[in-house]
Every structure is written in C-alpha cells, then in structure tokens.
C-alpha cells in the first residue's frame, strides 16, 4: 500500500520540503513538496540521490570500536550498549584527569542542535563549534556589526528583485531549489543578474553582466562602487538619513577609492564600475548585493562582507520588497511564544568558562560563540592553549577535510585521547575515530520540529519514511543515551520523538497531528514586512544600521580600514575552491548516484598559463603549497582568471571503506594554509598561493 509522507530533505544544509511516496517500506519517489510553491515539485540531484544513500552498503551500519591504529580501518562491530558504555567510561577517565572542559563538540548544524548544546552544558564544557564557523563566521560577525542580527536572521527576496549582484555565490550550481526558482522567475520578469568571480561558472553563464575580477580584490570593487554611488547621489537619501549611523565618515573614507583606482586593482574597467552603480541606482530599493552563503575566502573577509551589507543599506534595500529582509518569527505573527528548547534549562555552573577558541573572549572577542571559531581547534589541541583538549565529539562534521592544513589536522587528531563520531557515512574523521555511532538517514528517522522564520514563518517537521536498513539510531536518541551514562540524563526528559514534539509545541498552541496534511504549519497567511519609515528594529546600540560599528570600535577594530593591495607572484596562483550541483561538502562523494555524476575534482587553470607551463588539457599535474601537495587532472580553459586555479571541495578521500571515492582527486585542505580572518572568525579558504607543474 502506498503512502505519502511530507518531510524535509537533509542531503545538504538547505533542508528542502519534500514529498516522499512509500510503498512496502521502499521509497517510490522523492519530489518537492507541492504545498511549497517555490519548490515547483522539483528537487536537486542530491535530493534525488537520497535513495542511493538509504540503500548504500558502504555507509555506516552498526556501532564500531577501533581495534588497530587510527586510520587503519580495523574495527570491531559492537552493540549499542557496548559502544556507549565504552565511550562513557573513557570520558569519565579523561575528565577525572583534565576536567570535562577537555571535551569539544563539533557539528554540522541540524535539527537536534538544541540537544547538542544541552549535552555540552550538562556535562560542563564550554567547547562547542559548528560548521557555520568555518563557512560563514565572518558573514555572521559582519551582520551583527551593522544590524545587531546574525546572517541566519536575514534573507533575500529573490522573486521580487530588479537587480541582484552575486560575488562568487554560484547559486545555479550550489543549488537552493526555492531560491533558484524564485530568482529565475524574477529574471523572467526582467530582473538583472550581475555576477562577479574570477571563474566563469554556470551562474556567470546565466548572468546579465559577468565581471572577471582579479582573485581577492572584491573589496576594492565595492569601495569604488560606494564612491560612485555617493558622489552621483545614487543612494536612497531618505532611507540613509533615517536609518544609517556613520554615513559621513563613509563618504570621507571612500572618496579616495575611485573607479580608476579600482580598475588597476581588480582588472574591471572603470566605466563598467560606473555603469553598474548607475543601473543599481535606477533599480533601488529592489536591489540585492548578496552577502554570501559561504563567506570564508580571505583575511579581510569581515570587511568585504560589511561592504556588501553597506551597499544594500545605501540602496535602501534592507526590509524592502525585492531586497533583503529580516526573518519574522512566531511573535511577529501574533503568537506569544515559539518552540520550546531544552538548552534553556538551568545547568550546573561550569568550573572554567574559557573556550578553546577564545570566541567571545580574548582571541576572537566579537565572533559569535553560538558557532565558535572552528579554525582554532587544531591549534588549541597542539598547543594545549588555554588547556589540554583530549576528547572530540564530531556529529555529522568532518574537521579533517573542512579545516585548512590537513596534515596539521592529522597531528592534532593523533594527540587526542578519544574521538567519537556520530555520522551516516565513513569520512576522514570517522575513519580516524575510536568509536563510531551510526545515525539513521533522514528517511529513516524523525527529528525535532524546526522553526523556519521568514516573511511567512512556519514550523516544519521531519518524519520517518521507512524503517532503518541497518543498526542505526536517530541523533536525539544517541545524545540522550550518552548523557545518561555520563550522569546528565535528567536534562533529556523524553523517551520518544513524540515527547520532544509535544514539549516543543506546548507554547505555540499546535499539536503534532497538525503537520500531517502538509508537513508544516504557516503562522501567517501573508508576508510580514516591517514599516520602513518607523518600524525597523535594529538591535544595535544606536537602533540604526551602524556603518561606524560600536561592536567593532569598542573592541579596537576600525570600521573602515584602508585597502591593502593584494599581489599574486608571477610563478604562483591563488587556489580557489567551491562546490557543484552534485555534491554536499565532503559528505556525498561516495554516494553511488552522485559519484557517477562527478567522481573526482580537476584543476581549472588558465589556458595561457598552462601553455607557458607546458601543461595540456587532461594531463596530470602536481599542485603544491607551503603545507602540502597533490596530483590531479588539469582542466585547461580560458574561463578562469590567469592568477587563479580552482578545484571542487570535498574530494581526496583516503577511507578505503569507500571504494567509489577512495583516492579520487585532491583534498583542498591538503593544500590550504591555516590563514584566518582574525576578527570575523572565518578561515581564508581562497587565499593560499600554490605552484603548478606537470606531474
């Protein structure tokens, strides 16, 4: 008998609403939720490949305890009780010597993040970080410096924009289905897309205007755009006068950064810069300078991301139709409260609140402690600063292939006394772990309800579609089972997912059965916009958009630093990394379907540079940096700037248990130097200089 289940995909971080048809405990089809119009019934390649993950014989199938050296692939299959008991006893032994602060929990943010934070608080460690810290920590900090809100609290009205500017935001390959459909609809109505990137991507091919910029010089372009917008009075004067603090200081600062100056730095003709500014001025306020999804490229990332948000403010596009908006929650929709969470309980006072990364403290005073500064993890372990780190819990996150300098990461992992992975697939960190606790896939488990704030806020529910294929458990069960063995079970007062749902919904006036019809419940029947004249609610000390940021200035960081010229020596290239439509970070390269689409990464290199090096298309080349080297196939093309080379993120896996992805391509972290934005908290993933030669 067939049944229809409305749930949420988790083949990537977007969590698209989907409709799953099930018959006899098998998945018949996966398509976009028809009640979410922007899905248009579609899913991306990753969503379509979810059945490949479900039935993959090479994914994690049972709890495992390591029996040989780390990384040897020698394991003992054990029961859940044995794996959990072993983990708890090891933790108790380590905590008795070093304290529970010696444990770090890292994760890819997910629907049980509330329970993860409950776990760390309950066992008494301040050490928690998420993948967001490595992906968009500087975007987060930039947003808070201007608005008082994080990047997760703002979004983009793609469907009504008249002109959108994307800086390396390769939206048509790193796919958000709803966003892409809305943007295509807007372009069908005449909206313009300007794309800025050293590489010609699919998004560049679909753009109205493509600007091939010198790698790492985006901030120079934005300073020049500000110069033109202000001098030609293309900005929204009424909006700026009402809502901006520090405009005159910005005017004085950018006066020196002319389009002619920027042409020399960026390679973009001055007349193109002027023309772009003028077109945006005509389209305001329905203009979007996209602030970025992955914002971790260069050491000046905090200032580049601030510049994008400042440009939006100059256009008056913040909380404007077709611009950027603040996400609205249950209270904006007239509800007294939202979803309850477990991490707001009262917990025992921690003995030592110093964090391993100094986030929100001495090292990174204005970075967001909610996500931490994950790039500091290997240094904290190796240097025992501020104290020894001995235990790592890794939940659906792979620091080995996510934090720059893979060899340094390996040294740090070897120094740990215990590594515990909660995951679905084998990966770099699971292969190095002492204990592996397999989580059920999103098709095999139900999860806590998640509030999706937006113009029409709505809680969504992920619900189990089929029975688990192997001896796996949902994350909320695993975390509770670990906590019970560590004497912290009282903070997880539930026995089933239904208990969690009922607890979450208690203040919202909803019941779990309310989600059966569509998979979600809209809290507003129309979009919620704040009044742009008197109703904007910025969370800054001034109550305005702070061009001169009190958050930054009070901690000794200038709001407008002079531009630092970036040079790429003749014999080197800037290594750029990115994604494609077929893969999610480092998680899907071994998927049987997605591996067929893209099985390895190649090195994009400019054809003239390749010719000078004697490199032909499809030949094997060696790429080397100060910290590592690797060999992969060359893709010789004129579609990339001569100063840059590019590889896809997520390849170079060394886990022999994953036969499809094993030793295919090169891991970007093997080549990337450990360079950080020391204010915003993101790594500089595109800043490393590399050399290229024939293999």
What is the mean pLDDT for each group of 10 consecutive residues in the chain (695 residues)? 96 96 98 97 96 97 98 97 98 98 97 98 98 95 98 98 98 93 98 98 98 98 98 98 98 98 98 98 98 95 98 98 98 96 96 96 97 98 98 97 98 98 98 98 98 98 98 98 98 98 97 98 97 96 98 98 94 97 96 98 98 98 98 98 98 97 98 98 98 97
Q: What is the pLDDT of residue 219?
A: 98
Is 631 in a helix, a strand, or coil?
strand
Q: What is the pLDDT of residue 351?
A: 87
**Contacts by residues 528-536 (CB-CB < 8 Å, ≥ 24 positions apart):** 528/328, 528/332, 528/333, 528/455, 528/456, 528/457, 529/319, 529/321, 529/325, 529/455, 530/319, 530/326, 532/239, 532/316, 532/319, 532/320, 533/242, 536/243, 536/318, 536/319
Distant-in-sequence, close-in-space partners of 328: CB < 8 Å, separation ≥ 6: 453, 454, 455, 456, 457, 524, 528
- Total number of residues shown for the chain: 695
Beta bridge partners of 200: none
Cα–Cα nearest to 585, from 691, 495, 685: 685
Residue with tokens 């807007």: 186
Cα–Cα nearest to 319, from 37, 534, 525, 138: 534
Beta bridge partners of 578: 648
Residue 25's Cβ-count burial label (10 Å; 0-12, 13-18, 19+) is: exposed
Cα–Cα nearest to 91, from 503, 558, 550, 484: 484
Residue 429's Cβ-count burial label (10 Å; 0-12, 13-18, 19+) is: buried
Q: Which helix (H) or strand (E) holds 238?
A: helix 237-243
Give CA torsion, residues 668, 670, 675, 680, to 10 deg.
50
Check if the beta carbon of residue 168 is closer than 8 Å to that of residue 196: yes
Q: Are strands 418-423 and 391-395 parallel, antiparallel or unpaired?
A: parallel
Q: Are strands 163-167 and 450-452 parallel, antiparallel or unpaired?
A: unpaired
Q: What is the pLDDT of residue 1?
A: 85
Cα(649)–Cα(586) distance, rounded to whole angstroms?
A: 7
What is the distance, to the nearest Å, from the Cα of residue 603 to the centroid of all Cα atoms in its chain? 23
Cα(112)–Cα(447) distance, rounded to whole angstroms?
A: 7
Kindly state the tokens that stand for 614.
Answer: 């004697």
Kindly state the tokens that stand for 575.
Answer: 């290594």
Q: Write the DSSP string, 551-620.
A: HHHTTT--SSPPPPP----TT-EEEEEE--TT--TTTSTT-TTHHHH--S-EEEEEHHHHHHTT--TT-E
Residue with tokens 């969504």: 460
Check if the beta carbon of residue 502 is closer than 8 Å to that of residue 488: no
Q: Write the DSSP string, 3-47.
A: EEEEEE--SSSS--EEEEEEETTEEEEEEE-TTSGGGTT---HHH
Give 363's DSSP letter.
S
Q: What is the pLDDT of residue 231?
A: 98
Q: What is the pLDDT of residue 175?
A: 85
Cα–Cα nearest to 64, from 76, 73, 54: 76
99 phi and psi angles, rounded to 5 deg = 85, 160
Integer distance in angstroms from the first to the last C-alpha of the chain? Answer: 57
Is 156 in a helix, a strand, or coil?
strand
Cα–Cα nearest to 679, from 563, 551, 488: 551
Check if the beta carbon of residue 657 is closer than 8 Å to that of residue 71: no
Check if the beta carbon of residue 396 is closer than 8 Å to that of residue 13: no
Q: Give this prediction's pTM.
A: 0.97
Q: What is the pLDDT of residue 174?
A: 87
Handedness of CA 95, 100, 102, 105 (dihedral sign): positive
Cα(462)–Cα(226) distance, rounded to whole angstroms?
A: 44
Residue with tokens 């609809």: 185
Q: Which helix (H) or strand (E) holds 460?
A: strand 458-460
Q: What is the pLDDT of residue 542?
A: 98
Distant-in-sequence, close-in-space partners of 60: CB < 8 Å, separation ≥ 6: 423, 424, 425, 426, 430, 436, 438, 439, 470, 472
Cα(393)–Cα(128) distance, rounded to whole angstroms?
A: 10
Q: What is the pLDDT of residue 662?
A: 98
Distant-in-sequence, close-in-space partners of 108: CB < 8 Å, separation ≥ 6: 13, 130, 131, 395, 396, 397, 585
Q: What is the pLDDT of residue 181?
A: 97
């Amino acid at each position: 008998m067939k049944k229809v289940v409305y749930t949420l995909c988790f083949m990537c971080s977007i969590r698209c609403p989907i409709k799953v048809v099930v018959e006899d405990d098998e998945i018949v089809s996966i398509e976009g939720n028809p009640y979410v119009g922007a899905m248009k019934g579609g899913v991306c390649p990753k969503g379509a490949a979810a059945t490949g993950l479900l039935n993959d014989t090479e994914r994690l199938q049972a709890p495992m305890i390591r029996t040989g050296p780390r990384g040897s692939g020698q394991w003992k299959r054990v029961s859940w009780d044995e794996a959990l008991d072993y983990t708890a006893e090891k933790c108790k032994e380590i905590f008795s010597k070093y304290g529970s602060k010696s444990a770090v929990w890292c994760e890819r943010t997910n629907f049980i993040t509330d329970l993860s934070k409950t776990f760390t608080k309950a066992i008494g460690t301040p050490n928690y970080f998420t993948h967001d810290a490595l992906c968009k920590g500087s975007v987060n900090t930039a947003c808070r410096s201007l608005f008082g809100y994080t990047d997760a609290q703002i979004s983009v009205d793609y469907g009504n924009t008249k002109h959108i500017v994307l800086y390396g935001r390769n939206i048509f390959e790193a796919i958000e289905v709803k966003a892409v459909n809305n943007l295509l609809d807007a372009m069908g109505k005449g909206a313009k897309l300007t794309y800025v990137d050293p590489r010609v991507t699919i998004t560049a091919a679909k753009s109205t205007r493509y600007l091939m910029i010198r790698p790492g010089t985006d901030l120079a372009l934005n300073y020049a755009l500000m110069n033109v917008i202000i001098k030609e009075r293309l900005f929204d004067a009424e909006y700026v006068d009402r809502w901006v603090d520090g405009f005159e200081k910005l005017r004085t600062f950018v006066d020196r950064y002319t389009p002619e100056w920027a042409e020399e730095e960026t390679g973009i003709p001055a007349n193109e810069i002027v023309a772009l500014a003028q077109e945006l001025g005509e389209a305001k306020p329905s203009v979007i300078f996209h602030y970025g999804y992955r914002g971790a490229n260069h050491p000046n990332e905090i200032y580049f991301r601030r510049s994008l948000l400042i440009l939006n403010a100059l256009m008056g596009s913040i909380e404007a139709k077709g611009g950027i908006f603040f996400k609205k929650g249950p209270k904006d929709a007239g509800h007294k409260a939202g979803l309850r969470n477990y991490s707001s309980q009262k917990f025992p006072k921690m003995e030592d609140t110093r964090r391993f990364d100094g986030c929100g403290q001495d090292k990174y005073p204005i970075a967001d402690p909610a996500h931490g500064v994950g790039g500091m993890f290997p240094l904290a372990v190796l240097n025992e600063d501020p104290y020894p780190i001995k235990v790592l819990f890794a939940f659906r996150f792979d620091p080995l292939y996510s934090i720059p300098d893979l060899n340094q990461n390996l040294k740090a992992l070897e120094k740990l006394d215990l590594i515990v992975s909660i995951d679905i697939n084998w990966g770099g960190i699971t292969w190095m772990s002492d204990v592996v606790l397999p989580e059920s896939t999103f098709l095999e488990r139900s999860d806590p309800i998640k509030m999706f704030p937006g113009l029409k806020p709505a809680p969504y529910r992920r619900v189990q579609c089929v029975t688990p294929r192997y001896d796996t458990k949902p994350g909320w069960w695993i975390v509770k089972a670990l906590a019970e063995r560590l004497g912290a079970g009282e903070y997880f007062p539930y026995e089933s997912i239904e208990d969690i749902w009922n607890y979450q919904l208690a203040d919202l006036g909803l019941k779990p059965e309310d989600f059966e019809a569509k998979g979600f419940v809209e809290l507003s029947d129309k979009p919620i916009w704040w009044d742009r004249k008197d109703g904007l609610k910025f969370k800054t000390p001034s109550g305005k958009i702070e061009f001169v940021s009190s958050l930054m200035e009070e901690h000794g960081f200038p709001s407008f630093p002079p531009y630092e010229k970036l040079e790429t020596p003749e014999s080197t290239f800037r290594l750029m990394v990115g994604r494609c439509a077929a893969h999610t970070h480092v998680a899907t390269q071994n998927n049987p379907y997605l591996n067929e689409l893209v099985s390895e990464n190649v090195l994009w290199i400019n054809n003239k540079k390749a010719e000078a090096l004697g490199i032909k298309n499809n030949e094997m080349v060696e790429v080397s940096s100060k910290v590592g080297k690797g060999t992969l196939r060359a893709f010789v093309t004129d579609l990339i700037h001569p100063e840059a080379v590019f590889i896809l993120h997520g390849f170079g896996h060394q886990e022999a248990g994953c036969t499809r992805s094993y030793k295919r391509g090169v891991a970007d972290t093997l080549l990337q130097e450990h360079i950080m934005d020391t204010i915003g908290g993101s790594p500089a993933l595109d800043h490393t200089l590399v050399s290229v030669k024939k293999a």
